[in-house]
Structure 1
Amino acid sequence: MKKILLIGILSLMGIVAGCSEKGEKEKVKTKVLKVAFNQSENHPQYKAMREFSDRLEKETNGAYKLEISPNGLLGDQRATLELVQSGVIQMALVGNPVVENFNQDFAVIGLPYLYDSLDHQKKVFLSGILDPLFKSVSKNGFEVIGAFTAGSRCVYTDKPIMKPEDLSGYKIRVMQSDTMKKMIDLMGGVGTPMGQGEVYTAIQQGVIEGGENNEVTYSDLKHYEVAPYFSYTNHLMIPDLIVINEKLYNGMSQENRKIFDRLMYETIEKEFLAWNKNVEKAKEIAIENGATFVNIDIKPFQKNIEPLQETVKNHSDVTRSIYKKVRELAN
């Protein structure tokens, strides 16, 4: 009798424990972070963020995961950053010039010919020297939590661009940034701010003569169909910034915040490796579809943009300090 009673008690304890465990699991509600991205699912940055999401969900025991909307479905980069500020969505990937509009000091890390190579840029992004700059926009309702490389940006249009004079009268699409517009103007063309999603049609209709971007975006968006000459001006290695709603980010538990930050650091490192692989594949696709990649002497373009470099790096004590530290890491 005692044995039967003991078995009954143990069974009941097991049921209670099971219910308790089930209840605990049910308490864990996954917070889905909506992320805006203006490129396709084939882009290395999209793939990097998908891997980040998988790891984040696993390591936070289901507390967080990402829902990434590619192809500019949630709007252009300026619009999606405003959505992050208001908390309508939680994260977005935006070009550095977009954040420039909130703090002009950001212009220094997007200067033409600032980085000597991808390795140099990776050193800068992982060094921590940009952390104070990234946190400076928190009063605007968002924080910058890291930067991805987007490779070297080059000019593409309907003819080879061998020297600044070849750009004369050519309207070249740039991101919505005064610095980017001035850059193309100094390089010899006419900088024309425009959303990424409008570029293909704008070239096709003759509204602009070309764009400036990296090989991956050029191929991914099939811009080779309307601008078959990709000239290696290598004028810019502009950061793509990962932004997050400030209240959400600072509302994470200490443990989850630590996991989030570590995984983001590792994701940035991996994205640099993935970028190199994607460049070669993108070039192959573009060439198969009629594109021509043109190597040129970049020195005349470098000379032309020196006034812009001087103006931006001397904008403030912050920009002078960052410029100095970035250049020191080139050695």
Structure 2
Amino acid sequence: MRIFNLVVWLVAAAVAGPAAARDFTSSDIYPSDYPTVRAVAHLADLMRERSGGRLIVSTLGAADQQTENYTLGELRNGTLDMARVNLAVLNSAVPATTVLTLPYMFRSTAHERRVLDGPIGQEILATFERAGVVGLVFYDGGARSTYGVMPVRSPADLRGVKYRAQQSSNWAPMVRAMGAQPVVLPLIRVDPSMRAGLVDVADGNWSSFVALQHHRVAKFFSQTEHARSPGVVLFSRRVWDTLSDEERSIIRSAARDSVAYYRRLWDEHEAEARRTAETAGVQIVSDVDLSAFSSALVPLHDTAVSDARLKAMIDRIKADPGP
């Protein structure tokens, strides 16, 4: 009888072992060699190692050809487990994210990273759950500049120009403040729209500019550096609520530890992307009137945010004493 019980226990354990494993799917709009996708793959490796092989993540990269708004919807209804998205798509659902996407909010990459790693970053991540997602970590995305079929040196150059705008609450007003005509398009439509003359300019960082092949159609990259909107790694709240405390702890620690890895990848990738663009014949416009752009865009800080707590958050960011 004792032997029979032991056999039953071993069979049950063998069946229960695989059932305890969790398979997750993560999405990103960029291709598999892009820093954000590679960083999430590293995050997945850490999750698997620290869980003894129980927590497994498959990354989709550019296999997800939907918009990031669609991706956010998948996360909220639980049909997708994880995703890295640009913070701008959350502006309406999570108002605090607007602060990080405002023009000329950060003086430098170092300034942005201090804010994202510090108390303000944690405060904003904590507000995500009311939107049906769990914010794990931010991946900063470099300075966004204007590129297209024409050079841009001042807001005067953009009067009446068709400027691709992100699908967010504050991007179209920013484009209008520069004198341009906003054309709201998903990122994957920029290339064909620019070739067809439906948009004249768009914006992005060096890495996305090259990864999305926009440097093949946009031959001018004007260093307006008007925003530093970060990305964020999210987890579906519906799926998160089914996890144990131990599993949640493993995922959070793996996400935190992926940030340093991501930043090393990002810095290297951005430098290489610029060299690739220059080799392809892209003209870099460096004599940009940053003062004129700042004068046009910084007033949006007061109009884009009305909540007193968020206005105080903006003041805290500006008060950062570092470079």
**Paired position in structure 2 for 1:58:** 49
**TM-score, normalised via structure 2 length:** 0.91
Q: Which residue in the other structure is 2:178 paired with?
A: 187
The aligned residue for residue 312 of structure 1 is 304
Q: Which residue of 2 aligns with 1:38?
A: 29
Q: Tell me the distance in 2 between the aligned counterparts of 1:224 and 1:74.
A: 20
CA deviation vs aligned residue, 1:191-215 (integer Å, no higher than 9, x gap): 2211011000000000111210000
Q: Cα deviations across residues 226-264 of structure 1 (Å, max 9, x unaligned)?
A: 111000000000011222111322432222222211121
Residues 206, 273 of structure 2: 8 Å contact kept = yes
Aligned partner of 1:286 in structure 2 is 277
Match of 2:294 in 1: 302
Distance 1:74 1:223, change over 3 A: closer
Gaps of 5+ in 1: 1-11
Per the alignment, residue 101 of structure 2 pairs with: 110
For residue 124 of structure 2, what is the aligned residue in structure 1?
A: 133
Q: Which residue of 1 aligns with 2:111?
A: 120
Seen in structure 2, the aligned counterparts of structure 1 residues 198 and 72 have a Cα distance that, compared at 3 Å, is farther
- Tell me if 1:323 matches 2:323: no
Contact 2:96 2:127 (C-alpha < 8 Å) held by counterparts: no
Q: How is 1:77-96 mapped onto 2 (pairs within 5 angstroms)? A: 77-96=68-87
Q: How does 1:1-331 map to 2 (within 5 A)?
A: 19=10, 23=14, 26-27=17-18, 29-71=20-62, 73-295=64-286, 296-313=288-305, 315-331=306-322
> Contact 1:36/1:74 (CA < 8 Å) preserved in 2?
no
Q: 1:130, 1:264 → 2: CA distance?
A: 14
Identity, in percent, stands at 20
Between the aligned partners of 1:261 and 1:247, the Cα distance in structure 2 is: 16
Q: Describe the shift of the 1:130–1:317 C-alpha distance in structure 2 as closer, same or farther (beyond 3 A).
A: farther
Relative to structure 2, which stretch is displaced further, 229-238 or 246-255?
246-255
Tell me by how many angstroms 1:177 deviates. 1.6
Task: Give the match's secondary structure for 1:52.
Answer: helix
* Offset of residue 117 of structure 1: 1.2
8 Å CA contact 2:83, 2:235 repeated in 1: yes
State whether residues 149 and 271 of structure 1, in contact with CA within 8 Å, keep that contact through their aligned partners in structure 2: no
Number of aligned positions between the proteins: 319
Larger radius of gyration: 1
Residue 180 (structure 1) shift: 0.8
Shift in alpha-carbon separation, 1:50–1:125, aligned structure 2, 3 A: same
The CA RMSD measured in Å over matched residues stands at 2.3
Which consecutive unaligned segments of at least 5 residues does structure 2 have? Answer: none
TM-score of the superposition, structure 1-length normalised? Answer: 0.89
**Residue type matched to 1:210 in 2?**
V
**C-alpha displacement of 1:84:** 0.6
Match of residue 9 from structure 1: none
